Structure 1
Amino acid sequence: MELKLLLLLLWSSGVHLEDRNRPAEADDDFRLVGGSSGCSGGVELKHLGEWRPVDDDYWNMKLSTAVCERLRCGSAISLKATSESSFRTVWRVEYECSKSPSDLKNCFRSSYASSFIILTCSDSVRLLNGSSRCSGRLQVKTNPFDQTWPSVCEADLDLQDAQVVCRELGCGAPSVLQGALYGDVQTPRWSPEFQCGGHESALLDCRSSGSARSSCSPGKAAELTCSGGDEFRLVGGASRCAGSLELKYLGEQRPVENDGFTMKTAALICEQLKCDSAVSFETTDVSEQFMWFIHPGCFQSPSDPWNCLESWSSSHTLKLTCSDPTNEIITAEVLLPFLALMFLLMLGMWLYCKVLFSSLLMLWSSGWSQTLLTPVSSCLCRSAGGRPTDHKTRGTLS
């Protein structure tokens, strides 16, 4: 009996120790559901012990990046909002947390909504510490079971490899590829030499050397800048510098919401569009739809709007008018040749008239005037019923 009791005590003690050492399922945890991998799908949050979808209001790039990092995925490359016909309980981001999502524990509250976030993170590549989501130090997770992200040596990446990385991240063509552009770091642990053809959809689809470096020289970690996949545009206006303001951001083209929009923001957008100064903007009422909201006071230079944006649902958008430098160029290109042509025509007419006048004057003084005027005077006299005067027999009557 005592032996059984002792074994029971040891068994229960072992269970408690095992439970104590087993990692508990974390609260305030995220997951992506319904996607092609664990790095894409609808955003769900376990908060206060309950899994719910996350509403799209106040969702932004910082939150997307934080979720991708928590899930040990790469960079955020796509953000979409989807809606349902009925409302259900969701977790909604608190406004203040959208500005600095470093601590997500107290960032969400219970709410009802019919629109939800769908997020796609890259599976195995990411760019760190760049000026935008399409620039930074390149890191690759070559082993899905190893959660480390070694940097890639500059010597192991060429232009075709860079094209594949930019495409995988939903960015444009590579514009800069060099080492230590975004700050020097510790030497990479290792990376194979990639041998892409340039047409692959993901870097890990490319062939690689098979051998791997254990390190590369300081300052030689590959730094990559892709042309922006995110951009403003003006549609439906009289020129490219006027129209309804739209933004393509994280793969999603949406109108820009009018709330908090200022002439300073308008001027920065006009500058980014390579137009001249902002002339005016006005609010336009449209049907309720997903839009991008620009934080007032956050957008300080043409290069940094991407951390100032949030997903929003609204029925108020913007029409923006910037002065168009191409109009001035067209005016100068067309008007100056036209004025030059008019000047030449006027000069030609003046010279022609001068020569004609001189010729007529010479004819008049040489006696040709009588010959020229006689037929004319005869015609006029006949039409008036008279008889022309004979200039040759003019004199006294006998």
Structure 2
Amino acid sequence: MILGQILLLCCQLLLPCSLLPSTPAHAATTPVTSQSRPGSSATTGPSRQVSGVRLADGNQPSEGRLEVLIDGGWGTVCDEDFGVAEAKVACTMLGYPGYPPKVKTSPSYSEGSGSIAMDLQVSCVGNETSLSQCQYRSQHSCSHSQDVGIQCSPPVAKIRLAGGSTVFEGRVEVRLPGIDEWGTVCDNGFDIKDARVVCRMLGELRYT
């Protein structure tokens, strides 16, 4: 009460009350947004909804040009700031979790065609289960010469020989990734080439 009377007296003696600044106590502050690069928008937040991923033009199923399915259409991904963390999330979606991937920039794989589905800076921590959970900043400046490729590390099956008279012979048994149980291998179509692969996996480089 006393403070209000003092302010009123100052207003009457020194200034016209209309000149005093008035700010409502409940006024909301303007949110601060991060500045964008030239040629990019300031949009940041969760990435677009990625409903599928695939690899194209690779020498094996675990590598190739990364393509994502967004809004019912497949498109490539820009390599702008796309690193190991982002590749790890993509490999997890492809069924290769927990293994260190490699990022391959063009021209490791041929350029894609059509749309660039993720023409933006994708930023992942690495423990996400989908690229949709990562952050992004719209870029709109990539071309297909910047299509990113990745090389996932496929899980490796374990192998052993059982029931033989020595450690160099026996029944072939394998334990597939994600399965905590050993199983046998059918001999239908299994020939000397397959046996050589088994011996290599066992560490026996000299075999007959």
Q: TM-score, normalised to structure 2's length?
A: 0.59
Q: Would the alpha carbon gap of residues 221 and 235 (structure 1) be closer, same or farther in structure 2, given more than 3 Å must change?
A: farther
Cα displacement (A) at 1:259: 0.9
Match of 2:150 in 1: 224
Cα displacement (A) at 1:164: 1.4
Pair 1:189-2:91 in alignment? no
- 3-state SS of 1:194 partner: strand
After TM superposition, list the pairs within 5 Å mapping 1:234-273 onto structure 2. Answer: 234=160, 236=162, 244-246=172-174, 248=176, 254-272=183-201
Cα displacement (A) at 1:272: 4.8
CA distance in 2 between partners of 1:129 and 1:231 (Å): 25
- 1:311-336 deviations in whole A, cap 9, x for unaligned? xxxxxxxxxxxxxxxxxxxxxxxxxx
CA distance in 2 between partners of 1:152 and 1:187 (Å): 12
CA distance in 1 between partners of 2:114 and 2:142 (Å): 6
Match of 1:125 in 2: 53
Match of 1:140 in 2: 68
Q: Aligned AA for 1:126? A: R
Cα displacement (A) at 1:136: 1.1
Q: Would the alpha carbon gap of residues 126 and 244 (structure 1) be closer, same or farther in structure 2, given more than 3 Å must change?
A: same
Between structures 1 and 2, the one with greater helix share: 1
CA distance in 1 between partners of 2:102 and 2:170 (Å): 28
Q: Would the alpha carbon gap of residues 161 and 263 (structure 1) be closer, same or farther in structure 2, given more than 3 Å must change?
A: same
CA contact (8 A) 2:65 2:147 kept: yes
Q: Would the alpha carbon gap of residues 233 and 147 (structure 1) be closer, same or farther in structure 2, given more than 3 Å must change?
A: same
Pair 1:150-2:79 in alignment? no
CA distance in 2 between partners of 1:241 and 1:204 (Å): 49
- 1:188-221 deviations in whole A, cap 9, x for unaligned? 5241321111111222221222x14363252x21
Q: Aligned AA for 2:147? A: A
- 1:109-136 deviations in whole A, cap 9, x for unaligned? xxxxxxxxxxxxx942111222222111
CA contact (8 A) 1:128 1:138 kept: yes
Cα displacement (A) at 1:234: 2.0
Cα displacement (A) at 1:148: 1.2
Pair 1:169-2:169 in alignment? no
Q: Would the alpha carbon gap of residues 179 and 241 (structure 1) be closer, same or farther in structure 2, given more than 3 Å must change?
A: farther
CA contact (8 A) 1:263 1:278 kept: no
Moved over 4 A (4+): 235-243, 251-254
CA contact (8 A) 1:174 1:224 kept: yes
CA distance in 1 between partners of 2:200 and 2:191 (Å): 14
| Identity of matched residues, % | 26
Q: Would the alpha carbon gap of residues 274 and 152 (structure 1) be closer, same or farther in structure 2, given more than 3 Å must change?
A: farther
Q: Would the alpha carbon gap of residues 278 and 188 (structure 1) be closer, same or farther in structure 2, given more than 3 Å must change?
A: farther
| RMSD after superposition | 3.2
User: How many matched pairs?
Assistant: 152
CA contact (8 A) 2:100 2:152 kept: yes
Cα displacement (A) at 1:162: 0.9
CA contact (8 A) 2:112 2:144 kept: no
Match of 1:373 in 2: none
Q: TM-score, normalised to structure 1's length?
A: 0.33
Between structures 1 and 2, the one with greater strand share: 1
Q: Aligned AA for 1:227? A: S
CA distance in 2 between partners of 1:162 and 1:140 (Å): 12
- 3-state SS of 2:111 partner: coil
Q: Would the alpha carbon gap of residues 139 and 269 (structure 1) be closer, same or farther in structure 2, given more than 3 Å must change?
A: same
CA contact (8 A) 1:194 1:207 kept: yes
After TM superposition, list the pairs within 5 Å mapping 1:334-373 onto structure 2. Answer: none
Cα displacement (A) at 1:246: 1.6
CA contact (8 A) 2:83 2:103 kept: no
After TM superposition, list the pairs within 5 Å mapping 1:382-397 onto structure 2. Answer: none
CA distance in 2 between partners of 1:194 and 1:132 (Å): 25
CA distance in 1 between partners of 2:171 and 2:162 (Å): 5
Pair 1:205-2:130 in alignment? no
- 3-state SS of 2:105 partner: strand
Give unpaired runs (5+ residues) of structure 1.
1-121, 280-398
Cα displacement (A) at 1:239: 6.0
